[in-house]
Structure 1
């Protein structure tokens, strides 16, 4: 008899497995893939280069609690991610910043002047309902076309005018020369990779891991008291309200017989090419190697579910599943797929730590 059957070995499931095991709970964690670590899984390819199987995963957080928790399972390599965009035949910083504006327009503005410059370009939109509204409000039509519209159409197969405001609200516009992609107070990469961190997280004697396993094949035959589900919530309920749509990515890896390919970790292609971006892993990992591996990302409608599509009609369908989930005893739904919401890695860890505290609190209340 297991205390918890946990579906999914990514951040959501693995953090809960580790925390509950420490409390003396017997855990069975299963995953349909042949590896742990979910989408954060990394490994050494045949040339010996450490790569991320499901595209670049860059850790950043403002939560000291999350960072301190994960530090039990890994040392860190300081790393601040930088992204360039291929725009008008040159490479400029993304998010848009002071340098971006000066390079694109051949100007020498300071921070105060760039505020006025952007204000002169902005198109006031009220109310702000869509991703298009967000961008036009801040930078106007020209920069919207150069940086956002084409990229968004490739990524989501929708025009920004059809997407929730939250999508482009994630990407700030800066009036200083800060060219870091993230501004979180804690930015680092697991020193020996994510997979090793997960191996340590799941190494507790109370945790049993089963890979290559569809939970539906075992859920009725392996006794367990409670279930934690981190897979797609619509799949759990056999799609009775219809399938929740996701965007996926087709990753094309290429290893080159040269030390470096590009000057920064990621280069975005907002208007040119079918792919959205190219990432070179050695920038992220700090690995020294005489060859280098890059990955091209081609967004697609088919494949593994990566990005919930933030539109009102999809949220309405999710809310129907959420009501069912709330009425399902002894089952907890969590993680990006279990709650149909785009979370960064640190947010998933925080969500799992919060759910752990809730579970323990409820158990203690029952026992009293």
Structure 2
């Protein structure tokens, strides 16, 4: 008899498995893939280059609690991600900053002048409801067309005017020359790999792992008291209210017989090409190797569910599933797919730590 059957071996499931096992609970964690780590899984390819199987995963957080928790399972390599965008035949920093504007317009503006320049371009949108509104409200139509519209259309197969404001709100605009993609307090990569971090996290004697396993094949055969589900919530309920839409990515990897391919970890292609971006892994991992590995990302509507699509009508369908989930005893839903929310890795960890505290409290109450 297991205390918890956990479906999904990514951040959401693994954090809960480790925390509950540490409390003396017996855990079985199941994943349909042949590896632990979920979408953060990384490994050495045939040439011995460390790559991220499901695209670049760059860790960043403002949460000291999350960083300290993960630090139990890994040392860190400091890394600040920088992204360039291919616009008007030039490579310029994104998020848009002082350097971006000066390079694009051949100017030499100061911070305060860039602020005035962007204000002169901006077109007031009230209320700000869509992704288009967010950008045009901040930087105007011209920069919106150059940097955001094409990229967003490729990524989501929707015009930004049809997407929730939260999508482009994730990308700020800066008037200084800070060219880091993220400004979080903690920015680093696991020193030995994400997979190694997960191995340590799941190495507790109370945790048993089953890979290559569809939970539906075993859920009725393996006795357990409670279930934690980190897969798509609509699939758990057999799509009773219809399928929740997701975007997926077709990753195309290449190993190149050269030391380095590009000048930054990631280069975005907002208007040209069918792919959205190219990432070169050695920037992220700091690995020394004579060859290099890159990945092209082609967004698609088919394949593994990666990105919940933030639109009002999708949220309404999710709310029906959420109501059903709340009425289902002894089953907890968490993670990006379990709660249909576009979370970063650190947010998933924080969510799982919060759920752990909730479960612990329930256990205390049951034992009183």
Question: What TM bracket, shorter-length normalisation?
Answer: over 0.9
Report the aligned-residue RMSD. Answer: 0.3
**What is the match of residue 58 of structure 1?**
58
- Which residue of the partner structure matches residue 33 of structure 2? 33
Give the drift of 1:200: 0.4
Aligned pairs (5 A) from 1:11-160: 11-160=11-160
Give the TM-score normalised by structure 2: 1.00
SS at structure 2 position matched to 1:321: helix
For 2:322, the equivalent position in structure 1 comes to 322
Q: What CA distance in whole angstroms lies between the structure 1 residues aligned with 2:96 and 2:278?
A: 18
CA distance in 1, matches of 2:217, 2:109: 63
1:145-187 per-residue CA deviation (whole Å, 9 max, x = no partner) reads 0000000000000000000000000000000000000000000
Provide, for residues 73-109 of structure 1, a one-character-per-residue CA deviation record: whole Å limited to 9, x for no partner.
Answer: 0000000000000000000000000000000001111
> Per the alignment, in what secondary structure is the counterpart of residue 3 of structure 2?
strand
Match of 2:335 in 1: 335
Secondary structure of 1:303's aligned partner:
coil
Relative to the length of structure 1, the TM-score reads 1.00
1:285 aligns with 2:285: yes
Name 2:2's counterpart in structure 1.
Answer: 2
**Residues of 2 paired with 1:113 and 1:333: CA distance?**
48
Q: Distance in 2 between matches of 1:157 and 1:268?
A: 17
Q: Secondary structure at the match of 1:293?
A: strand
CA shift for structure 1 position 366: 1.4
Q: Detail structure 1 runs of 4+ shifted over 2 Å in the superposition.
A: none
Which deviations, in whole Å up to 9, do the C-alpha atoms of 1:248-269 show, x marking residues without a partner? Answer: 0000000000000000000000
Q: What is the aligned partner in structure 2 of residue 164 from structure 1?
A: 164
Q: Which runs of 5+ in 2 are unaligned?
A: none
Q: In the aligned structure 1, how far is the partner of 2:329 from the partner of 2:212?
A: 27
Distance 1:56 1:105 in 2: 31
Provide the secondary structure at the position in 2 that maps to 1:147.
helix
* Alignment deviations for residues 100-133 of structure 1 (CA, whole Å, 9 cap, x no partner): 0000001111111111000110111111110000
Q: Secondary structure at the match of 1:282?
A: helix
